[in-house]
């Protein structure tokens, strides 16, 4: 008889299963090829972490100690990743007495506006949080204005889109990340050099998803300590990703970008370490995903069923 996709029961509905397939491809490129069970375990843990951290809040009255910016001290650029309870980091800066402007993409602007709504208005001129759209053609002027008012700038190194309105180009460049090579943006460090802004690379590194958020300063960069722009950008980007790799290797489920990295960043790794079993991931009939190339192929029903039984049982 003719086999159909209904002859094999997938662990997830079609849309969620497709999300897992691409998530697992991203994981395999960066951490090395993994079989179905190992990749699916990572996916389930990442889903749980993402759901919990996205709703984690703390009250304005909560005391968080961080080095406060003294009177007359210049504002800084803070760089982080969508890692850990990353939404908390701008709030930790505010509770230490700093005002912060967070640069985010248009697609998540409304979501962030709701999340930070209680922190975007303050009384008596206290610390405040601002949101800036990365796609704003006047973003460069907006950033200059914030800096002139003593407001720190906060950016995500792994944001989906570059700062289109920035006063410097923000194209993709290749960067090694563990076992893979990804396309990254470096415009935020170009901007730091152009405007001579001291920069701190920070991560949220609390021990568990239930623990209170913790801001850790991983690296510091001062454009004035480098001989030229290219040296500053190259050195700082290399060090940021090298240090991030250390944390990512220990806690891969904490990096939210593994869910969507393939959508905007080309990922490459050594083809020689991929076996056929690692490359093939069945999707709903009649499709299969080549996790190495990210290409989708169609196969006949008997082949599809056989691959499902071989790789997913």
DSSP letters of 280-296?
Answer: EEE-STTEEEETTTTEE
Could you identify the residue written with the tokens 């079989």? 35
CA distance 259 to 54: 14
Enter the tokens of residue 100: 């912060």
User: pLDDT at position 19, please?
Assistant: 97
Q: How far apart are CA 92 and CA 83, in angstroms?
A: 15
Under 8 Å CB-to-CB from 263, ≥6 apart: which residues?
A: 160
CA–CA separation, 190 vs 1, rounded Å?
62
**Separation in Å, CA 57 to CA 169, 213, 298:** 35, 9, 45
Q: Within 10 A of 50 (CB to CB), how many other CB atoms are there?
A: 17
Distance CA 42, CA 23 (A): 9
Crossing angle (nearest 10°) for helices 14-31 and 36-53: 110
d(CA 173, CA 162): 12
Model-wide pTM > 0.95: no
pLDDT single digits (tens) 13-26: 999 999 999 999 99
| Amino acid 62: pLDDT | 46
Residue 174 has phi, psi (to 5 degrees) of -75, 140
Q: What is the pLDDT of residue 165?
A: 55
Nearest to 184 by CA among 157, 163, 164, 202: 157
Predicted pLDDT at 244: 98
Phi, psi of 216 (to 5 degrees): -115, 130
pLDDT < 50: residue spans in the chain: 1-3, 60-64, 70-71
Confidence (pLDDT) at 35: 92
Q: For the packed helices 187-194 and 229-250, what is the interaxial angle rounded to 10 degrees?
A: 140
Burial 181-191 (b: 16+ CB within 10 A, else e): bbebbbbbbbb
CB contact burial 107-142 (16+ within 10 A = b; e otherwise): eeeeebeebbeebeeeeeeebebbbbbbbbeebbeb
pLDDT of 228 reads 92
- The reported pLDDT for the residue numbered 162 is 58
Integer CA distances (angstroms), 202 to 93, 144, 172, 216, 310, in order = 11, 22, 22, 5, 43
Q: How far is it, in rounded angstroms, from Cα 253 to Cα 251?
A: 6
Sign of CA dihedral 68, 72, 73, 75: positive
Predicted pLDDT of residue 252: 96
Residue 63's pLDDT is what?
47
Cα(267)–Cα(260) distance, rounded to whole angstroms? 11
């Amino acid at each position: 008889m003719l086999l159909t996709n209904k002859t094999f029961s997938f662990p997830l509905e079609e849309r969620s299963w497709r999300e897992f397939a691409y998530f697992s491809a991203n994981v395999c490129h960066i951490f090395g090829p993994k079989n179905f069970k190992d990749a699916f375990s990572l996916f389930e843990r990442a889903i749980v972490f993402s759901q919990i951290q996205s709703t984690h809040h703390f009250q304005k009255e909560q005391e968080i100690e961080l080095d406060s910016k003294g009177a007359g001290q210049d504002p800084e650029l803070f760089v982080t990743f969508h890692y850990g309870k990353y939404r908390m980091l701008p709030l930790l800066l505010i509770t230490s007495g700093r005002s912060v402007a967070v640069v985010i993409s248009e697609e998540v602007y409304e979501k962030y506006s709701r999340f930070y709504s209680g922190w975007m208005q303050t009384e008596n001129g206290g610390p405040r949080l601002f949101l800036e759209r990365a796609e704003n053609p006047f973003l460069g002027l907006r950033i200059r204005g914030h800096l002139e008012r003593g407001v720190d700038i906060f950016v995500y190194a792994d944001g989906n889109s570059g700062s289109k309105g920035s006063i410097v180009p923000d194209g993709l460049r290749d960067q090694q990340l563990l076992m893979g090579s990804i396309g990254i943006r470096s415009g935020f460090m170009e901007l730091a050099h152009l405007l001579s802004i001291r920069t701190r690379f920070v991560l949220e590194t609390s021990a568990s998803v239930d623990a209170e958020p913790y801001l850790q300063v991983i690296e510091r960069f001062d454009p004035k300590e480098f001989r030229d722009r290219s040296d500053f950008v190259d050195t700082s980007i290399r060090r940021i990703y090298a240090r991030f790799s250390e944390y990512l290797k220990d806690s891969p489920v904490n990096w939210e970008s593994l869910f969507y990295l393939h959508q905007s960043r080309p990922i490459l790794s050594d083809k020689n370490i991929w076996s056929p079993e690692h490359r093939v991931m069945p999707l709903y009939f009649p499709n299969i995903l080549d996790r190495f190339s990210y290409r989708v192929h169609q196969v006949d029903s008997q082949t599809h069923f056989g691959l499902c039984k071989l790789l997913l049982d």
